[in-house]
Amino acid sequence: MQNRGMVEVRRLEADETRRAAAALGEVLADAVAGGDSIGFMDGFSAEEGRAFYESVLPELERGTRVLLAAYDGGDLVGTVQLVHAWPPNQPHRADVTKLLVHRRARRRGVARALMERLEAEAAAEGKTVLVLDTVPGRAAERLYERLGWTRVGVIPGFALDPDGSECDTAVFYKRL
Ligand SMILES: CC(C)(COP(=O)(O)OP(=O)(O)OC[C@H]1O[C@@H](n2cnc3c(N)ncnc32)[C@H](O)[C@@H]1OP(=O)(O)O)[C@@H](O)C(=O)NCCC(=O)NCCS
């Protein structure tokens, strides 16, 4: 457990994630509604968001995925996940995915608190190489640079924004 001002970051096991799935789904749907490229398209509902979080429960149960949630006075305002690489020759590597902070809670250090805790969880699990990607020129890119991640390069036209327009992705890594 970690506190940063009013924000508390917790690692949620599968049972807790099941109970928090609706709140997590709302944070995900809010990010899509805000135009962020995080896997889903315009019209994505909080209910679909809940289904997404329920879909990762088996991996949480197996221990191949870690999910963190940030709470502001009991209110779930942010989340991030660590996904272990599956190949047997990458036992030391994991991907960071779905870092999300609800628009009402941004610019208060929530994402920074989530990432610092996630890196600590990754290190505790023996992970020494973390990888992620994000749309260049947006808030998250600045955050990762500030947290000491190394930018590898940009893949043009990698994904779509929720409105269907193409966006690039910048690939980052960090050695722990
Ligand atoms: C990216 C995101 C997670 C940042 O969350 P946040 O809680 O607002 O970030 P923090 O308050 O912890 O900011 C930490 C640092 O990141 C950078 N940063 C965050 N938001 C920024 C913005 N809008 N513009 C510029 N820099 C920004 C700053 O360097 C900031 O430090 P500072 O406030 O001391 O200047 C949030 O904007 C979000 O959920 N975006 C949509 C989803 C997304 O893009 N996720 C990443 C997918 S890879």
Q: Residue ranges of the alpha helices (H) in the chain?
A: 14-33, 46-55, 57-62, 110-124, 139-146
Cα distance between the two ends of the chain:
20
**For 140-158, b where at least 16 C-beta lie within 10 A, e where not — what string?**
bbebbeeeebeeeeeeeee
Identify the structural domains of the chain with CATH numbers, from first to last. 2-131 (3.40.630.30)
**To 5 degrees, how large is the angle CA 17–CA 70–CA 14?**
15
**62 Cα to the center of ligand 1, angstroms:** 30
Residue nearest to atom 29 of ligand 1 (CA): 143
Structure confidence at residue 122 as a pLDDT band (50, 70, 90): very high
Q: Could you identify the atom of ligand 1 that is nearest to the CA of residue 31?
A: 41
Residue nearest to atom 10 of ligand 1 (CA): 109
Residue nearest to atom 33 of ligand 1 (CA): 107
**Average pLDDT score over residue span 83-97:** 97
Structure confidence at residue 5 as a pLDDT band (50, 70, 90): low
Above 70 in pLDDT, residue 2?
A: no
CB-based burial of residue 56 (10 Å sphere; 0-12 exposed, 13-18 middle, 19+ buried)?
A: buried
Q: Could you identify the atom of ligand 1 that is nearest to the CA of residue 114?
A: 12
Structure confidence at residue 6 as a pLDDT band (50, 70, 90): confident
**Does the reported pTM lie above 0.85?**
yes
Q: What is the DSSP letter of 127?
A: -
> Within 6 Å (CB) of ligand 1, which residues are found?
31, 36, 38, 99-101, 106-112, 132, 134, 138-140, 142-143, 146
Question: Whole-number mean pLDDT of the chain?
Answer: 96
Q: What is the pLDDT of residues 47-77, one digit of tens each?
A: 999 999 999 999 999 999 999 999 999 999 9
